[in-house]
Amino acid sequence: MKLLQNSGLPIYKQIAEQLKSDILSGKLKEGDYLPSIRGLAQELRISVITTMKAYEELQAEGLVVAVQGKGFYVNAQDSELRREQHMRKVEEALGEAIKAARIAGMSDKELLDTLQTLIAFAREQEN
């Protein structure tokens, strides 16, 4: 797990986002235990409170469940919910791309051409 000190995003949010991404992508599966709060805090050289805050955020979203005396594990994920969350991330990223394109003075056609080029490149990389 990589943390960026100058990302502008609080460390607990960075941890939560990375774990959320691992859960939604299927890298972490239903029933998998998350690293212990103390263990992750030591590994990342951060406060136990920061790690706990990240885990609590994931729990509030229903992505993980706390088991008394055992820690946190990945909750069952509804595939439709998972798809919806991915769609929301795509929409947010595209919204940011549109803002950047406007600042750069790109036309809609230039933006669409760029997107199509990136899609074609990604398709090539997948094969």
Domain annotation covers residue 1: no
Domain boundary among 52, 74, 96: 74
Which burial class, exposed, middle or buried, applies to 19 when counting CB atoms under 10 A from its CB (0-12, 13-18, 19+)? buried
Domain annotation covers residue 114: yes
Q: What pTM does this model have?
A: 0.64
What span, in angstroms and rounded, lies between the C-alpha atoms of 54 and 8?
Answer: 16
* Structural domain that includes position 110: 79-126
Domain annotation covers residue 6: no
Please, which pLDDT band fits residue 46 given cuts at 50, 70 and 90?
Answer: very high
Domain annotation covers residue 43: yes
| Nearest residue to 97 (alpha-carbon basis) of 89, 16, 74 | 89
| Nearest residue to 16 (alpha-carbon basis) of 56, 44, 47, 43 | 56
Please tell me whether residues 59 and 85 are part of one structural domain: no
Please tell me whether residues 83 and 49 are part of one structural domain: no
The predicted-structure confidence for 111-120, as pLDDT tens digits, reads as follows 999 999 999 9
User: Residue 65: which region, alpha, beta or left (left: phi > 0; alpha: psi -120 to 50)?
Assistant: beta
What span, in angstroms and rounded, lies between the C-alpha atoms of 119 and 42?
Answer: 40
Alpha helices in 1-127, H assignment, sequence order: 11-25, 37-44, 48-60, 79-104, 108-126
**For residue 65, what are the β-bridge partners?**
73
The predicted-structure confidence for 57-95, as pLDDT tens digits, reads as follows 999 988 999 999 889 999 887 667 767 877 888 999 999
pLDDT for the residue 49: 96
pLDDT for the residue 57: 94
Please tell me whether residues 68 and 21 are part of one structural domain: yes
